[in-house]
């Protein structure tokens, strides 16, 4: 499609605006001149409650919606609470997308996750790998919910001609991340572990798994830029991948985090813990073919995220 710039006066509702992804999108939209970006915390609007979502849309009347709301977590959280990861995410996105249709929202971006793809998909993972194989068992409930969201968006495109889209980011990190060791993803968990070890001068840090799985990491500021780019340059069914196009072994990521935090001890890998998917690298050629590319390197991104962590989390 040709570029269709969004009005900077449009009311843009970012669902999940206070989370890792949503807060980055809000920052980017405001930096790009959007003057009416709105959001609500879950205590104000429970997206699992259709009546609450209806009342919120009646109040703000958005013309653009970005669905960055989700119940998220790492391997441990997904493994322990699959019912909540399935049910909560299904309810939130169903209510949000159905209500957006009733209020005639012009543009909607649904954000999923690279975990929607099969565990052993051919690498790098193309968008047409969706539903071609078995999912990773440790987060299949969350993945199924996100696949349902993609399907719902596409159903509205087919039945009602909605110009709505779905984007699938790779592993994300950045300011505002969750650093709780019981609930966080791998990179913030490593940052929290290595920071504590550096401060308390531990001799070693234990890292889950073998250290050999490969992961791709995208800074949320890059994702936010991609989201606006897609809203203004993309209008197709199905998911479109958002990533950086390269990956590293977990042990390499751990070493970068160790260097940034100043930890000089030994890295020990606990092979009794799960590795998850062996590799998860996205093919981003469709997105880069449209003219977008990431700008933040992994080392620069980890360093800036650690600076934010020191200013906002470490002291608390």
Main-chain dihedrals φ then ψ at residue 280, nearest 5 degrees: -150, 80
- What are the E-state strand segments in the chain? 12-15, 37-38, 64-67, 107-111, 163-169, 171-173, 204-208, 214-215, 217-219, 239-242, 248-249, 266-270, 279-280
Give binding residues for NADP(+) as ranges: 16-22, 111-114, 146, 169-172, 185
Tokens of 21: 């992804």
Whether 160 is catalytic: no
CB neighbours of residue 240 within 10 Å:
19
Answer whether 134's CB lies under 8 Å from 181's CB. no
Give binding residues as ranges: 16-22, 111-114, 146, 169-172, 185, 193, 208, 215, 275
Cα–Cα distance measured from residue 263 to residue 298, given in angstroms and rounded to the nearest whole number: 18
Look up residue 7 and give its DSSP letter.
Answer: P
Strands 64-67 and 12-15: parallel
Comparing CA positions, the residue from 131, 130, 134 lying closest to residue 120 is 134
Give binding residues for substrate as ranges: 193, 208, 215, 275
Q: Catalytic one among 117, 142, 306, 309?
A: 142
Give the residue numbers marked as catalytic. 142
């Amino acid at each position: 499609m040709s570029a269709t710039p969004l009005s900077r006066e449009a009311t843009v509702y970012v669902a999940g605006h206070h989370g890792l992804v949503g807060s980055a999108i809000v920052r980017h939209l405001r930096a790009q001149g959007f003057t009416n970006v709105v959001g609500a915390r879950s205590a104000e609007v429970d997206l699992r409650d259709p009546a609450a979502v209806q009342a919120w849309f009646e109040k703000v009347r958005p013309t653009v919606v970005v669905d960055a709301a989700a119940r998220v977590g790492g391997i441990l959280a997904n493994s322990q609470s699959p019912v909540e990861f399935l049910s909560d995410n299904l309810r939130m996105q169903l209510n949000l997308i159905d209500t957006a249709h009733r209020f005639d929202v012009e543009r909607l971006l649904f954000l999923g996750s690279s975990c929607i793809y099969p565990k052993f998909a051919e690498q790098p993972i193309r968008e047409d790998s969706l539903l071609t194989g078995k999912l990773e068992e440790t987060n299949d409930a969350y993945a199924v919910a996100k696949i349902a969201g993609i399907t719902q968006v596409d159903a509205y495109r087919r039945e009602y001609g909605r110009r709505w889209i779905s984007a699938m980011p790779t592993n994300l990190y950045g300011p505002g991340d969750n650093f709780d060791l019981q609930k966080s993803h791998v990179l913030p968990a490593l940052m929290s572990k290595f920071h504590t070890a550096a401060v308390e001068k531990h001799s070693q840090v234990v890292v889950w798994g073998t250290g050999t799985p490969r992961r791709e990491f995208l800074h949320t500021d890059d994702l936010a830029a991609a989201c606006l780019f897609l809203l203004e340059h993309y209008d197709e069914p199905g998911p479109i991948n958002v990533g950086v196009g390269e990956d590293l072994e977990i042990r390499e990521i751990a070493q970068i985090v160790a260097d940034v935090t100043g930890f000089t001890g030994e890295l020990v890998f606990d092979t009794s813990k799960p590795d998850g998917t062996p590799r998860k690298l996205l093919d981003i050629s469709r997105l880069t073919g449209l003219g977008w590319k990431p700008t933040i390197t992994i080392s620069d991104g980890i360093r800036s995220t650690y600076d934010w962590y020191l200013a906002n989390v470490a002291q608390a």
